[in-house]
Structure 1
Amino acid sequence: MKVAVMGAGAVGCFYGGMLARAGHEVTLIGRQSHVSAIVRTGLRLESRAFDEFIDVRACTDASGVAGADTILLCVKSPDTQAAVEAMKPYLSASAVIVTLQNGVDNAERVRALVECEVLAAVVYVGSEMGGPGHVRHHGRGELIIEPGSSGERLARALNDAEISTSVSANVRGALWEKLVLNCAYNAISALVQLPFGELCQRGGIAVNQAMRDIVAECLAVAGADGVNISRDVDATVARIMATIPAGQYSSTAHDVATHRPSEIDHLNGHIVGRGAALGIATPVNHLLMMMVRVLDKQRADQHSLKAALADGLLI
């Protein structure tokens, strides 16, 4: 396959690196610092099984998708529309876009903008950027993709590249299950800046109860929205506790720590929005959304203040 990864951060670099390692032609589209490092030495993909430099193409411009038959869309959910608009002039009519993103509605948003095939995917992977051009894989890596004219072909290629991939007719349910996991953990982790194991150790039973409250609201909204997922709160919380690696920080925690805009509006914020539309109260998710939004705004204000001081605009 000829693959382009739009948004080559920790997720995009892992999947792009694995595909390139399996012999596919891959172009990573990302930040200048990562691109410069990859152009110099290749992508460093570090995992428990190997630590290798992989030969891939890299660029900072959306024109890198030109000629690709498969595009992995890995940008943050708030950046989806801008990324797709940037890619549109270079998209092949026969290309397939696979959305490897948090949130549950990105594929629908992309379909409204392009005519080529779009497949939603659910991503379960623990990875982080260890530095420019260096991705660390901590565990997992499974993908669930929805059926389509390209679904089975893509699943075969991904499995051949040692990326465990299945095709499911209930991707919407799987996306919501991942959303519930993210809602239960991401905002709390971001607010206290602790990895999962330490969060549970310090918070004890209070963390477990908070997750129950968050999950109960999520499942109530999902049920009212006709989503086919488990209605067992205890089982869902137990699955979350067993799924998240003890030392892992959430992506929202990383965004807050690095002063980047978070995806909170597409996580707990999505529950709040759908709950309001469906007449379901979501006070716990609303509180978490509000608190992370305050942090986002605080970071943005601090960035603006530093810029103003640097430019001599304040005295």
Structure 2
Amino acid sequence: MAEPVLIWGAGAIGGILGAYWARAGVPVLMVDIVPDHVAACANKGLSIEGPVEEFTQVVSCVTPEQLTGEYSRIVLAVKAHATEAAMMQLMPHLASGGFVLSAQNGLNERVIAQHIGPDRTIGAFVNYGADWIGPGRILFGNRGAVVVGEIDGSLQQRTKDMFALLQIFEPDAVLTRDIWAYLWGKLGYGAMLFATALTPDSMTANFEDPARGPVLMGLAREVMRTAIAEGVNPKPFNGFEPIAFMPGSDDTAARKSLADLAEFNSKTAKTHTGIYRDLAVRKRKTEVDPQVGTIAEIAAGHGIDTPLLRRLVELIHDIENGRREMSAETFHELTEVLT
């Protein structure tokens, strides 16, 4: 039997990849820290639910303590703030000459490369809608962009091989020589998504609200200015049009992109972000620091002020720590930054 692909994190992203690959006959072993979820996936099977496709697939799954052996292909699919701890656990299981592919939100490729080197790190961008519902259950709300590429812009056989695996799940997946362009595009969109989680409203309701438009546009513009300073030209995807938020762009193009994002999100069964679920349902810390906070830090290094991004981090922390409620009033604390 061929060496399995090791997926570290069997939640919304990793679980769906594991179920699709296992169903297609690809050897897969998933690792997760939730024992009940591990047992369900390995015994009863992992149920993929929702409008895209519904099926149940048994997928080999263990906890980190149960894992043995070394693996040449590791897909890291944990929350951004868990990257450091996951890397410390998985590195003893990374085979000589093996690599780690980051299927996460944020710039986690930078963290991974610090541990194992850039030559052993592959980047990926995922924008499909999914939620971990409970042990052995994942909602697959909608299809979205999936992109893979080497972080140095090269094209290697291993990249082509991972691209072929991703096409099993998403036939329209993209193989790119500029993965950073997609990752920074997602950061622009992601900053807006964090803002939507300040309220109990759906993603679509937030993007459709004219009163919230200036804040959402301002967040994306701060990210795009930072991307340019980093020498990156972000790519468009699923309604997010980076050029609409570039310096010198007018509000007409930006409002059109917000309308397109509202339309895209109106078609998903995942009505709210994973950020919202972390705050309102799972009552746990979000990825705000390694995502939004990291952008603000990079921007500061270029002498770029990002008052909206910095205030957004503070407001998310206020909700995490019970100092504020999720509400329109909390969202409009960002509006005050614009005045």
Pick the TM interval, shorter chain: 0.7 to 0.9
Contact 1:22 1:161 (8 Å CA) reproduced = no
Tell me how many residue pairs correspond in the alignment. 295
Alignment of 1:282-301 (within 5 A): 282-298=306-322
Alignment of 1:203-282 (within 5 A): 204-229=209-234, 230-233=242-245, 234-235=253-254, 236-245=257-266, 248-257=271-280, 258-282=282-306
Contact 2:102 2:123 (8 Å CA) reproduced = yes
1:304 is matched with none
Indicate which of 170, 177, 196 corresponds to 1:189: 196
Residues 205 and 184 (structure 1 numbering): CA distance in 2 closer, same or farther, change over 3 Å? same
Residues 45 and 153 (structure 1 numbering): CA distance in 2 closer, same or farther, change over 3 Å? same
Cα offset for 1:46?
2.1
| Separation (CA, whole Å) in 2 of partners of 1:49 and 1:267 | 28
Residue type at the aligned position of 1:274: I
| Separation (CA, whole Å) in 2 of partners of 1:54 and 1:67 | 24
- Alignment of 1:166 with 2:190, yes or no, is no
CA RMSD of aligned residues (A): 2.2
1:307 is matched with none
Cα offset for 1:171?
0.7
Cα offset for 1:65?
6.9
* Structure 1 residue matching 2:90: 3-state secondary structure: helix
* Structure 2 residue matching 1:82: 3-state secondary structure: helix
| Separation (CA, whole Å) in 2 of partners of 1:65 and 1:109 | 24
Cα offset for 1:107?
1.2
Contact 1:122 1:144 (8 Å CA) reproduced = yes
Cα offset for 1:112?
1.7
Residues 130 and 180 (structure 1 numbering): CA distance in 2 closer, same or farther, change over 3 Å? same
* Structure 2 residue matching 1:15: 3-state secondary structure: helix
| Separation (CA, whole Å) in 1 of partners of 2:130 and 2:41 | 17
1:123 is matched with 126
Residues 198 and 161 (structure 1 numbering): CA distance in 2 closer, same or farther, change over 3 Å? closer
- Alignment of 1:179 with 2:201, yes or no, is no
Cα offset for 1:238?
4.7
Contact 1:28 1:57 (8 Å CA) reproduced = yes
| Separation (CA, whole Å) in 1 of partners of 2:52 and 2:221 | 38
Residue type at the aligned position of 2:188: V
| Separation (CA, whole Å) in 2 of partners of 1:45 and 1:54 | 8
Q: Which range moved further: 228-237 or 174-183?
A: 228-237
Residues 141 and 27 (structure 1 numbering): CA distance in 2 closer, same or farther, change over 3 Å? farther
| Separation (CA, whole Å) in 2 of partners of 1:160 and 1:84 | 26
Cα offset for 1:62?
5.8
* Structure 1 residue matching 2:85: 3-state secondary structure: helix
Contact 2:20 2:168 (8 Å CA) reproduced = no
Contact 1:141 1:164 (8 Å CA) reproduced = no
* Structure 2 residue matching 1:119: 3-state secondary structure: strand
1:58 is matched with 61
Normalised TM-score (structure 1): 0.86
* Structure 2 residue matching 1:48: 3-state secondary structure: coil
Cα offset for 1:168?
0.8
* Structure 2 residue matching 1:146: 3-state secondary structure: strand
| Separation (CA, whole Å) in 1 of partners of 2:266 and 2:17 | 19
Residues 96 and 65 (structure 1 numbering): CA distance in 2 closer, same or farther, change over 3 Å? farther
What is the CA deviation profile of residues 107-128 of structure 1, one whole-angstrom value per residue up to 9, with x for unaligned ones? 1211221257210100111011
What is the CA deviation profile of residues 18-73 of structure 1, one whole-angstrom value per residue up to 9, with x for unaligned ones? 11111111112111121122233011122435422212111111663734332110
Contact 2:6 2:31 (8 Å CA) reproduced = yes
Q: Which range moved further: 54-63 or 228-237?
A: 228-237
